[in-house]
Amino acid sequence: MPVNYNFISWNVNGLRAAMKKGFLDLLLEQKFDVVCVQETKASPEKLPREVKNIPGYYNYFVSAERSGYSGVGMFSKQKPLKVETGMGIEEFDREGRFLRVDYENFTLMNIYFPNGKASQERLEYKMAFYDAFLDYANVLRAEGKKLVICGDVNTAHREIDLARPKENETTSGFLPEERAWMDKFLNAGYLDTFRLFNSEGGNYSWWSLRTRARERNVGWRLDYFFVSENLRENVKTAPIYPEITGSDHCPVGLELEF
């Protein structure tokens, strides 16, 4: 009998704010097996009780040392075999960007990759994080693990992944070195699951709040589900959910069958 896992990943731009915009209803109505969130902007002790007591879900959170910044979380119907809250590198782990859970059939990593727009220093930090993550993932691959990787990657890979590529060639999120890393990552044996099913432009997961960009669909595809090559045959669907509001990002999904 096949076993299906339905995942969703969403940069909620503040989990407490998302709670006020129907986040709990999303979980309970859609019945996802695993819900990954990024940019929670709250330490676990500051989250409302109801978000930590959702019927039928185990929950795990990682927060940044800096208050109200970064953070990732996960809600899972199945209790993982193992949970890790960092890559073991202090300069990255202190920002609360990484959560790994191991299940019987796969290992899931929920990641809020750094944004490089603020300064050259932050761009360098972002690129160093990218490289450290790829090294970490490759070690797991070498151990024979099957990997699912989701989150806000903060880079649009190709020109079809943002509405205005020419105007953003010198903007972090679409810089040549960021896009080159995406090529390097995919060439190392990882799959962009959305592109297994859809090769068209106009599919985005983030829109600026300042310019009513979402109404005009002037967006970027910054949020992804990747799997290692050894999970290719297990991927059934990988949708984007632009109709789900409540953040400047929309959720992305993945269905696996074992």
Q: Which pLDDT score is estimated for 50? A: 87
Residue numbering of the annotated binding site = 11, 39, 152, 154, 248-249
Q: Could you say which of 3.30.300.130, 3.30.465.10, 3.60.10.10, 3.10.620.30 is the CATH number of the domain covering 4-257?
A: 3.60.10.10
Q: What parts of the chain have a pLDDT lower than 50? A: none
Residue numbering of the annotated binding site for Mg(2+) = 11, 39, 152, 154, 248-249
* pLDDT digits 0-9 by tens, 93-121: 999 999 999 999 999 999 999 999 999 99
Q: Which pLDDT score is estimated for 68? A: 93
Q: Which pLDDT score is estimated for 69? A: 96
Amino acid identity, position 85: T
Q: Which pLDDT score is estimated for 210? A: 87
Q: Please say if 93 is a catalytic residue.
A: no
Q: Please say if 157 is a catalytic residue.
A: no
Q: Where are the domains of the chain?
A: 4-257
Residues sharing a CB contact under 8 Å with residue 9, sequence separation 6 or more, in sequence order = 36, 37, 38, 110, 150, 151, 223, 224, 225, 251, 252, 253, 254
Q: Which pLDDT score is estimated for 256? A: 98
Amino acid identity, position 137: A
Beta strands in the chain (DSSP E): 4-11, 34-38, 58-62, 72-76, 82-84, 98-102, 107-112, 147-152, 190-192, 206-207, 219-220, 223-228, 235-237, 252-257
The single residue of 5, 130, 152, 223 carrying the catalytic annotation is: 152
Do 36 and 80 touch, CB atoms closer than 8 A? no
Q: Which pLDDT score is estimated for 29? A: 83
Q: Which pLDDT score is estimated for 175? A: 98
Q: Which pLDDT score is estimated for 166? A: 98
Q: Which pLDDT score is estimated for 80? A: 98
Q: Which pLDDT score is estimated for 133? A: 98
Sequence length of the chain is 258
Q: Which pLDDT score is estimated for 51? A: 87
Q: Please say if 224 is a catalytic residue.
A: no
The single residue of 112, 130, 136, 190 carrying the catalytic annotation is: 112
